[in-house]
Structure 1
Amino acid sequence: MTATGTHRIQASGRPLTRSGSEKTLITLESVTSATALAGGLLLMLAPDGSLLMADPAALDGTGFGDWLLPGAALALFVGLGFAVTAVWQWRRGPYARFLSLAAGVGLVLFEVVQFSLIGFHPLQAVFGVVGVVTAVLAWRLPGAKHGATGGALVRRAEPAQAQAVAHHEDR
């Protein structure tokens, strides 16, 4: 006998293992989160940009007097956003695929806004590509694996078990 809730049969047909694309997506989201949180926190700790060698003159004409609010936006929207997305994708939560897709597109938009405000920096191109790759990987995940059902990884019922359950329910 098992305790209630400790044994569930997987109804959606999801495998226990993860595809290479799914592993890559989760890793990319996790690394992006960590770098954005670190960068945002460093900008907030030293709003003059000294910890990241960020030139305060780049903010001229943007309405920002220092790097505090841009650092907070980076930490909150990209750092925390990608952390939540990575965890949700790892848990295979409901609509995880679409959350990852939104995070990737959101990162591209974040970099476009940043470029329009402060001009070009090579990291914008790098993270713009990260956003595109995130969106593409999320788009390519099978919808049945990341649809509305969500839930934690559980063992799939064997066909014989499923038939026995169906036979038992028919009675």
Structure 2
Amino acid sequence: MNATATPTRPGVRSGLAALELVVGAAAVYGGIGLAAGNLIGMPADWLAGTPFGSWLWPGVFLLLVVAVPMLVAAVLELRGAPRAAVASIGAGAAQVGWIAAELLVMQRYNVLQPVMMLAGLAVLLLAVWGHRAVR
């Protein structure tokens, strides 16, 4: 064990990093796809009733709120950094918050929402459980 790293259960860091990389990559794909002119084909009417006139800002926010925290947390987990647990908990909470805000603001449902909500919860719970002191 690295002297500066927090003790973890075996396999937690690599499992968390893998999940964070998948969610982060999906958020990069979605964020760029939205910001670059809705290349992923989201219905324009989903913006009705939101403060957004185009998909540009939702794409930018997806990159900043979900992709960046997930990818930073993955790198910290892979490096065994002392702050990896905090980063993973924050990234998981950001993902859950993103989906909750998306449902509240847009009031539209997509099959990916529960999948990504579960992924965010998994990151959050794995980080809390896996980074507890191992006895």
TM range (shorter): 0.7 to 0.9
- For 1:25, the aligned partner's letter is L
Q: Does 1:86 align with 2:74?
A: yes
Q: Is the 8 A contact 1:12 1:144 kept in 2?
A: no
Q: TM-score, normalised by structure 2?
A: 0.87
More helix by share: 2
Amino acid at match of 2:119: V
Supply the distance in 1 between the matched residues of 2:81 and 2:117 (Cα, whole angstroms).
26
Higher CA-based Rg: 1
- Contact in 2 for aligned 1:22/1:137 (Cα 8 Å): no
Aligned to 1:21: 12
Matched, 1:131 2:120: yes
**Number of paired residues?**
132
CA distance in 1 between counterparts of 2:5 and 2:51 reads 52
Secondary structure in 2 matching 1:90:
helix
1:1-171 correspondence runs (5 A): 10-11=2-3, 19-46=10-37, 49=38, 51-118=39-106, 119-144=108-133
Alpha-carbon distance, 1:34 to partner: 0.9
Greater RCO (Cα-Cα under 8 Å, separation 6 or more) = 2
Q: How far apart are the structure 2 equivalents of 1:36 and 1:68?
A: 14
Identical amino acids, percent of aligned pairs: 33
Instruction: Kindly provide the CA deviation profile for residues 26-64 of structure 1, in whole angstroms up to 9, marking residues without a partner as x.
Output: 000011111101110011111xx3x21200100101010
For 1:52-87, what per-residue CA distance to the aligned partner results, in whole angstroms no more than 9, with x for missing partners? 120010010101001000000111211111111110
**Structure 2 CA distance for aligned equivalents of residues 53 and 13 of structure 1:** 43
1:14, distance to aligned residue in structure 2 (A): 7.4
Cα deviation 1:100-145 (Å, max 9, x = unaligned): 0111111101100000111221111111000000011101113348
Report the equivalent of 1:168: none
Does 91-100 or 64-73 show the bigger shift? 91-100
Q: Which runs of 4+ in 1 moved over 4 A?
A: 12-15
Gaps of 5+ in 1: 1-8, 146-171
Distance 1:65 1:13, change over 3 A: closer
Instruction: Answer whether contact 1:33 1:78 (CA < 8 A) is retained.
Output: yes
